[in-house]
Structure 1
Amino acid sequence: MPTHPTRRMLLAAGAAVGATGGAGPLLGACGRRSWDDLEPAELTLATGNPGGVFHRYGEALAKAWQERLPGITVHTRGTNASVDNVREVASGVSDVGFSLADTAADARRGRGVWNEPVDLWALARAYDSFVHLVVRADSDVRAVTDLAGRRVSLGASGSGTRGIAWRCMRAAGLTSDEFRPVAETLQRSADALAADRLDAFFFVSGLPNTAVLHLSQAQDIRLVPLGHLVPRLVRQHGSEFSRSSIPASTYDLDRAVDTVSVQNYLLVRRDLDERLVHALTRVLFEAQPRVDELAHGVRQPNIGTAIYTSPLPLHSGALRYYREQRD
């Protein structure tokens, strides 16, 4: 017997927990694609900070959805990312949105910044994000504990970066009294580091992060290793965290950097029509070459891992698509 649920087991079980919505066959009577008779709709996709991968990938994905789905208009909405996006999708301000998995899991369980459980549903597990702790190359900060007494941007309010940055600092044994926390967006943090107004900044992103890449081209930088914090993060906060490496070639660094990675989820409103969510999920995978044209190099969801969104259940429209692929 396997020690972990297999993909087939999860898909079979998921049929009992999918969200409700209007059902419809994959093909119509005349062999039409499932989205040929979709009702016209306007959707909002909550993305993230300019310069971050949520924003870049979201812009490309919105365009691909519009191109492939007649009558469907997709507007993107720039936000401070995960925390904002969870609130927007849960409240119906946005229909779809990106979130770091730990933020979404906290919301679903009603912990962390969430006073009670949030009814969240997933369309897919997307790519993984990596925790960047960026310093100037000439900085004497070599470990996270060296941030004591320093000016450190933990990310903007409403961002998933901010939550993970705090967790990393606490896992390293640093309290808020021992360093000088700053709340800034990604681009402002990068600009402040270059101008020597900050000693370091955190950002959690897929690879490469455009703002960090541009900074590395204008200013010699280093990334501080964080991978050793993973066991404590997992014990304290959950299995959404893993130990990973950022390749040296990503930002023309001297060597690869051992760091923390975290999964990303694509959230979706529970009450969104099942046929529409099925179509969005199908295009998410079928239009990947087009998305790569629009946002070259951005990592995209893998059909083999996309269903693993625990503790968030999959929307029934997404679940139906994945069940069709298992055979």
Structure 2
Amino acid sequence: MIACALYPLVLLAACGGGSTGDGAEDLFVTIATGGQSGVYYPIGGALSKLYEEELGATSSVQATGASVENINLIDQGRAELAIIMGDAATQAFEGIEPFQHKVDSFSAVASLYPNFVQVVTTVDSGIEKMEDLKGKHVGVGAPNSGVELNARAVLEAYGLSYDDFNADYLSYSEAIDGMKNGTVDAAFVTSGLPNSTVTDLSTAQEVNVIPIEGEAMEKLKEMHPYYVENVIPAGTYTNKEDIPTASIMNILVASNELDEDTVFTLTKTLFDNIEVIHSSHNAAADITKDSAKDSVPIPFHPGAEKYFNEAGIE
């Protein structure tokens, strides 16, 4: 629980101070995002600025290790909003690894945009399919990050594990740096498109993104229904054709400590000013009011539900 004595600036509604309608200047929102080289951070930054300008709130954006850390921050009362992936949300609610127990102290605000699982290497590495990762140095994401959760799931679908190669627990920006200097052969990168670090790599070397498809893709969907088939469009990097892969929806979530009126106001402000969010990153263009309830595996916050009901969104 968020104690008023310890968090005097936390959303006034969490301390029984009423709705934000007459006192938004007392609103304090910390938004947990991801690494500064990813997509979460600029979107969170745009949302934070929006709440300051439109609501007079005091808001901050926090760079983190993304999904799992963000869920823990909300659970600890150290963030009010967070961007997470659908798989991490499901694992938290079910209390399965990487979570030690069930964590359901948060609810969905809105579906955002798909994250694409990108297994990135270079043409010079000779890696052309997932099985070619055997014996290589592979960046699998920071420990227990959303990227690392994806890496484990995809590898399992292919009958592979970390025992088959040298797993480097690096953020994707660190892994891409390793590919530039020759210490890393391939990296799991889960993000919106395009990913800036992969784009940067493609200016120096010809990038190869390994497809996720066929029986492995079917197995992945069977094991984890929140994965869907998708494609990385031709020309996203140096790829001349679409690349089949898996994607997972990103979700904006809120602490259950926030009351209905507060989350209603936050949700409404987001969608009433969606063009501000769209301008933060190319991937944010996929965030729309009409798709705001798509592919969300956890319950919505009552405040978000109130907004969608009033907006006629089913």
TM-score computed with the length of structure 1 as normaliser: 0.85
**Change over 3 Å in CA distance of 1:22–1:128 after alignment to 2:** farther
Aligned to 1:184: 170
Aligned to 2:143: 157
Question: RMSD between aligned alpha carbons?
Answer: 2.1
Aligned to 2:3: none
Which of 63, 70, 74 is residue 85 of structure 1 equivalent to?
Answer: 70
SS in 1 for 2:176: helix
Unpaired segments ≥5 residues, structure 2: 1-13
Aligned to 1:107: 92
One-letter amino acid of the structure 1 residue matched with residue 78 of structure 2: V
Aligned to 2:80: 95
One-letter amino acid of the structure 1 residue matched with residue 218 of structure 2: P
Greater shift, 306-315 or 185-194, is seen at 306-315
Aligned to 1:6: none
2-structure distance, mates of 1:159, 1:93 = 18
1-structure distance, mates of 2:212, 2:42 = 25
- Counting aligned pairs with the same residue, the percent is 31
2-structure distance, mates of 1:246, 1:253 = 9
1:230 paired with 2:198, answer no
**Change over 3 Å in CA distance of 1:205–1:297 after alignment to 2:** closer
Aligned to 2:268: 282
One-letter amino acid of the structure 1 residue matched with residue 79 of structure 2: S
Whether contact under 8 Å (1:274, 1:317) holds in the other structure is yes
Unpaired segments ≥5 residues, structure 1: 1-19, 26-33
1-structure distance, mates of 2:282, 2:161 = 39
2-structure distance, mates of 1:308, 1:23 = 33
One-letter amino acid of the structure 1 residue matched with residue 65 of structure 2: N
**Change over 3 Å in CA distance of 1:105–1:21 after alignment to 2:** farther
Q: How many residues align?
A: 298
Which of 235, 248, 251 is residue 262 of structure 1 equivalent to?
Answer: 248
SS in 2 for 1:299: helix
One-letter amino acid of the structure 2 residue matched with residue 242 of structure 1: V
TM-score computed with the length of structure 2 as normaliser: 0.89
1-structure distance, mates of 2:281, 2:246 = 24
Cα deviation digits, residues 256-312 of structure 1 (max 9, x gap): 211010111111100113222111101211112122334355334222232246441
Higher relative contact order (CA 8 A, sep 6+): 1
Cα deviation digits, residues 22-64 of structure 1 (max 9, x gap): 7989xxxxxxxx7454361221100001211111211112112
**Change over 3 Å in CA distance of 1:281–1:194 after alignment to 2:** same
1-structure distance, mates of 2:204, 2:129 = 23
1:117-196 to 2 correspondence within 5 Å?
117-119=102-104, 120-196=106-182
Shift of 1:92: 1.2
Whether contact under 8 Å (2:274, 2:288) holds in the other structure is no
